[in-house]
Structure 1
Amino acid sequence: MTISNPILAHDVAEALLRIGAVSLSPEEPFTWASGLHSPIYCDNRVTLSDPTTRALIADGLATLVRENFDAAEVIAGTATAGIAHAALAADRLARPMVYVRSQPKDHGRGNQIEGRLTPGSTVVMVEDLISTGGSVLDAARAVEREGSVVEGAVAIFSYELERGRQAFEEVGWPLFTLSNYPTLIEVAESMGRISAPQRAALETWSADPQAWSDAH
């Protein structure tokens, strides 16, 4: 997982904290859908409601595509949280956009990919948040089953979990993110959102999320 621009990573982290898209609570952990207890909760859907942050992210994702996947012909968003961000980035890039459902529809034409995706097209995936990488990688596999070629993925934020890093390494698709967990907790401390002991707790979670979850 790679961040192309440390200054942009700082700005995106600051914006996520400022608008409340990210909440940090080492003392009262959040419970993820997986059941994992975590001191951080990130909801990037909130960014769509803030025009300044929305533009920062759309411009940033478009730049990541230009710098790392400029030959990609189609922008593909993951359902549901990646759809709007993919559309905004595709608009700035003046490229076609599709989105990928988690499962094919059980009615109509049974589509899993919505929009027009021509076999043989080169595609870059857009996701809002990377934890284990499972959802975006499943979407990418669906794209390849339709006969297109996935070049890689871009995302707003990554928790930088080892499981996610390994998942992308195994499939060989590069991932570029606007910001990530280490940058966010550094910015949170500089903004006075967390204390030094809280930062230490957050770093402990990052090193071994399962062990931290079991202890809380």
Structure 2
Amino acid sequence: MTTAEAIARDLLDVEAVALRPDDPFTWASGRLSPVYTDNRLLLSVPDVRSRVAHAFFQALTELATPVDAVSATATAGIPHGALLANRAGLPFSYVRGEAKGHGRQNRVEGRVEPGQRVVLVEDLVSTGGSVLSAADALDDTGADVVAVLAVFSYGFAEAERAFEAAGVPLVTLTDFATLARAAQETGALGPDAWAVLREWRDDPAGWSVTRGGAA
């Protein structure tokens, strides 16, 4: 079993990813989705948390560019990023969704030096907008974001285009296609349901609108 397959099964086992093709979830944006992800649940299971941390470390060591520091997105990326930085013996920082409204009004918390090659850790990539915004904030400090590492990606074409345009490589421990295969193999997802999920992945906005949700 590959690392991606093992992590996908972990996501299903701890119910960090839930699949409901016939009873869609409503995301905070108002968009309807047959999938809901909460990777915070991985942190509550020690052996799973350890496997995820090890997989992140392996991904870090396999990057083409050496890394000087680890950063993470607030808030869900912080624990994964801190575990990775500790294992790698590297400095750690995190990036807020927006600058805080008091004190130094920082968006990047922790010391990031100009010229540092930084890997940015995220738990989930959907459209890529939030993590690429965090990458821009690190760029503003003079750092160089060499890659984004994430636990899971939905594999939206929109995200692929966004990362390509930004020139930032995206490395995920597992992805939606791998997870869907694992769900089928374990009986958690029937073959008819996969057709629904594939339709959603190919056009998430259109899928939501046709069912009464937001685009």
TM-score (norm 2): 0.95
The answer to whether the Cα contact below 8 Å between 2:93 and 2:111 also exists between their aligned partners in 1 is yes
* Equivalent in 117, 120, 137 of residue 125 of structure 1: 120
Matches within 5 A, 1:1-80: 7-68=2-63, 71-80=66-75
Counterpart of 1:47 in structure 2: which amino acid? L
Partner of residue 185, structure 2: 190
Which residue among 201, 207, 212 is the counterpart of 1:206? 201
Letter in 2 for 1:110: Q
* Letter matched to residue 96 of structure 2: R
Does structure 2 retain, via aligned residues, the 8 Å contact 1:22–1:43? yes
Q: How many residues align?
A: 211
Identity %: 44
Question: What amino acid is aligned across from residue 62 of structure 1 in structure 2?
Answer: F
State the Cα distance separating 1:57 from its structure 2 match: 0.8
1:64–1:176 CA contact under 8 A, matched in 2: yes
| Aligned-CA RMSD value | 1.1
The 8 Å contact of residues 65 and 146 in structure 2, kept in 1 or not, is answered as no
Q: CA deviation at 1:215?
A: 2.0
Q: In structure 2, give the amino acid aligned to 1:94.
A: G
**2:160 maps to 1:160:** no
Q: State the distance in 1 between where 2:99 and 2:208 align.
A: 33
Residue 215 of structure 1: which of 207, 210, 213 is its match? 210
Contact 1:10–1:179 (8 Å) recurs in 2: yes
Give the deviation of 1:191 after TM superposition: 0.6
Structure 1 runs of 4+ off > 6 angstroms?
none
Deviates more, 1:102-111 or 1:151-160: 102-111
* Partner amino acid, structure 1, of 2:168: W
Tell whether the 8 Å contact from 2:113 to 2:143 is kept in structure 1 after alignment. Answer: yes
**1:150 Cα deviation after fit:** 1.0
Distance 1:93 1:15, change over 3 A: same
Distance in 2, Cα, partners of 1:171 & 1:88: 26
Aligned to 1:3: none
Is 1:88 aligned with 2:87?
Answer: no
Deviation digits for residues 139-173 of structure 1 (CA, Å, limit 9, x no counterpart): 01000101111111110000000110000000111
Deviation at 1:70, TM superposition (A): 5.1
Residues 76 and 123 of structure 1 are in contact (CA less than 8 Å); yes or no, is this contact kept in structure 2?
Answer: yes
2:97 aligned to 102, 115, 126, which one? 102
Q: Contact 1:69/1:151 (CA < 8 Å) preserved in 2?
A: no
Letter matched to residue 198 of structure 1: A
Distance 2:150 2:126 in 1: 11
Closer, same or farther in 2 for the Cα pair 1:171/1:110, shift >3 Å? same
**Whole-angstrom CA distance in 1 between matches of 2:163 and 2:52:** 22
1:52 CA displacement: 1.1
Per-residue deviation at 1:69?
5.1
Question: Within 1, Cα distance between the matches of 2:55 and 2:17?
Answer: 18
